[in-house]
Chain A
Amino acid sequence: MAHSAWEKKRLHLKPALVWSIALNSLRLRIGRTLLTLLTVAASCSFVIFLLTTPPTSEQEKEKWALMLVLSLVVSLAGVLNTMLMSVTQRYREIGTIKCLGALDSFVLLSVIVEAAMVGLTGAAGGVLIGLLLSLLMGLWEYGTAFWSGGGWIGLWWKVSLTLFVGFFLTTFGASIPAWIAARMPPVEAMRGEK
């Protein structure tokens, strides 16, 4: 009888599948991908620019610190908003792939992998742009004396920090709605509510 074949069955997650689905999704939603990239890149270039152009006087220090905090808040709001939008738009799709047998962990992982790819690429682009701006402005203002200004001291540390900020914001921003969507019963997710 049929139930003899039943026992406890589970599906196993294939990392290659997660990877290819995330890539595919980015490629086919290129408009959305570019918008997210732009948001992350703009935020990260702002952060690295500030990190590499430290204040020159005590008075400026407070202003600089405020700008840095603001840049982080603006990045957080911008990136979270973009990621929330991009995942909530996909509730229906998430419900559908759950009906096809996707596990909650698969849904979560594929969204996070996708967000991480955009986050890292955007952050890398943003770092390049921010550094270029900081370099040009430094040279414009101080000429070659710029090199001794100290802004680029500890550059690797600053670059790593900015990359981490971009990566963290996108994956964190994507994982909240993805977690909600993954936990939703498939029918509700397909109705696209909440």
Chain B
Amino acid sequence: MSPGATQGQLLEALTRVSDLSDSLDYTVMARGVCKDYRMGSETIHALQGVDADIVTGEYISIMGPSGSGKTTFFNVVGGLVKPTKGSVYIDEIDIAQLDAGELAWLRCRKIGYIFQSYNIVKAMSALENVTLPMLFAGVPPEEAQDRAVDILKRVGLGDRLLHTPKELSGGQQQRVAIARAFANQPAIILADEPTANLDFRTGEEIIGLMKEMNRERGVTVICSTHDHKMLDISDRILWMEDGWVKKMARRDEVDIQIGAMAEEDGGAQQ
């Protein structure tokens, strides 16, 4: 602000700042999340107190070596496993407090899942796969079908509507999974290594598609990955190691620091 700014300009600037902080809605807040697994007589501490705030509409990549707790974190945020300690808030609701019925509602309406191995229901066509979550959500069948056709066209499968998974390539199955995940207009998309089973080019296409959908629909995307192609399109990167968040950084910061992180002398934990 220049010294000659009028009072009006100052007020306007202040309003803008307060608008900005108001608009910073957190879709996901994790507080001290721990998860232990028992493996025989041993207890494995998969997560050891993870804190993370994820802003609505962000595209977050979770990176880290295998065994670092990425998938466990993903499952806890998705309401697929209960944390041993700590809480996960989705739209300010502690999901540990939800009963089975409410959890099913959360999975259906608030979260869209994309898996490494696609997990398309084999006994159903692409169209039926995408229609199913809408039917669970109570959308009338005709409307659900129309919406499923639209979204399948959007992901480039307009000519594959009635094909079953057997008749679709890996990339196409992952597109069906993306369409299915976005079907109920969820608040969060959780993608667990969505490109791990795909070749380089197809992986790139899938990443591009997820980013476009994230932009178009303002859906928060949380994606665990080994894939460095993902870095370029992420808003922030959450780096996990040994069940901790070692680092959480904006993409422009990571471009400079990625070498340093690989050398294991990464900066202060956020």
- The answer for the CA separation of A102 and B113 in the assembled complex, in Å, is 14
For residue A9, CB closer than 8 A to chain B, the reply is yes
Residue interface mask A11-42, B partner, CB < 8 A = 1:
11010010000001100110000000000000
- Do A3 and B91 contact each other (CB < 8 Å), given the known contacts A187-B75, A187-B80? yes
For residue B187, CB closer than 8 A to chain A, the reply is yes
Contact assessment for B109 and A6 in the assembled complex, using a CB-CB cutoff below 8 Å? no
Contact assessment for B113 and A99 in the assembled complex, using a CB-CB cutoff below 8 Å? yes
For residue B267, CB closer than 8 A to chain A, the reply is no
The residue of chain B having its C-beta at the shortest distance from the C-beta of A8 within the complex is B102
CB distance from A4 to the nearest CB of B (A): 10
The residue of chain B having its C-beta at the shortest distance from the C-beta of A94 within the complex is B121
Contact assessment for B135 and A11 in the assembled complex, using a CB-CB cutoff below 8 Å? no
Contact assessment for A11 and B80 in the assembled complex, using a CB-CB cutoff below 8 Å? no
- The answer for the CA separation of A8 and B102 in the assembled complex, in Å, is 7
Contact assessment for B92 and A101 in the assembled complex, using a CB-CB cutoff below 8 Å? no
Number of interface residues of A (CB under 8 A): 32
Contacts of A11 in B (CB 8 A): 101, 104-105, 108, 136-138
Contacts of A2 in B (CB 8 A): 25, 27, 56, 91-92, 187
- Do A3 and B92 contact each other (CB < 8 Å), given the known contacts A100-B180, A186-B80? yes
* Chain B contacts with A in 76-93, Cβ cutoff 8 A: 78, 80-81, 91-93
- The answer for the CA separation of A1 and B132 in the assembled complex, in Å, is 29
Q: Which of B81, B105, B124 contacts A24 (CB 8 A)?
A: B124
Contacts of B184 in A (CB 8 A): 101
Contact assessment for A10 and B105 in the assembled complex, using a CB-CB cutoff below 8 Å? yes
- The answer for the CA separation of A96 and B173 in the assembled complex, in Å, is 14
- The answer for the CA separation of A10 and B106 in the assembled complex, in Å, is 9
- The answer for the CA separation of A40 and B128 in the assembled complex, in Å, is 30
* Chain B contacts with A in 208-230, Cβ cutoff 8 A: none
- The answer for the CA separation of A12 and B138 in the assembled complex, in Å, is 7
The residue of chain A having its C-beta at the shortest distance from the C-beta of B92 within the complex is A3
Categorize the interface residue count of chain B: 35 or more
Contacts of A12 in B (CB 8 A): 138
CB distance from B54 to the nearest CB of A (A): 13
Q: Which of B109, B122, B123 contacts A101 (CB 8 A)?
A: B109
- The answer for the CA separation of A17 and B113 in the assembled complex, in Å, is 22
Contact assessment for B119 and A10 in the assembled complex, using a CB-CB cutoff below 8 Å? no
Contacts of B56 in A (CB 8 A): 2
Contact assessment for B135 and A97 in the assembled complex, using a CB-CB cutoff below 8 Å? no
For residue A103, CB closer than 8 A to chain B, the reply is yes
Q: Which of A24, A101, A190 contacts B136 (CB 8 A)?
A: A101
Contact assessment for B119 and A101 in the assembled complex, using a CB-CB cutoff below 8 Å? no
CB distance from B140 to the nearest CB of A (A): 10
Contacts of B106 in A (CB 8 A): 9
Contacts of B93 in A (CB 8 A): 3, 6
- The answer for the CA separation of A96 and B184 in the assembled complex, in Å, is 16
For residue B69, CB closer than 8 A to chain A, the reply is no
Contact assessment for A97 and B132 in the assembled complex, using a CB-CB cutoff below 8 Å? yes
Contact assessment for B92 and A99 in the assembled complex, using a CB-CB cutoff below 8 Å? no
CB distance from A189 to the nearest CB of B (A): 10
Contact assessment for A104 and B119 in the assembled complex, using a CB-CB cutoff below 8 Å? no
- Do A1 and B92 contact each other (CB < 8 Å), given the known contacts A101-B105, A101-B133, A103-B101? yes
For residue B107, CB closer than 8 A to chain A, the reply is yes
For residue B20, CB closer than 8 A to chain A, the reply is no
Contacts A6-B91, A185-B81 aside, 7 further interface pairs with beta carbons under 8 A come to: A1-B25, A2-B27, A3-B91, A6-B92, A25-B123, A28-B123, A101-B104
Question: 5 closest Cβ contacts across the A-B interface?
Answer: A101-B108, A101-B136, A28-B123, A2-B91, A100-B133
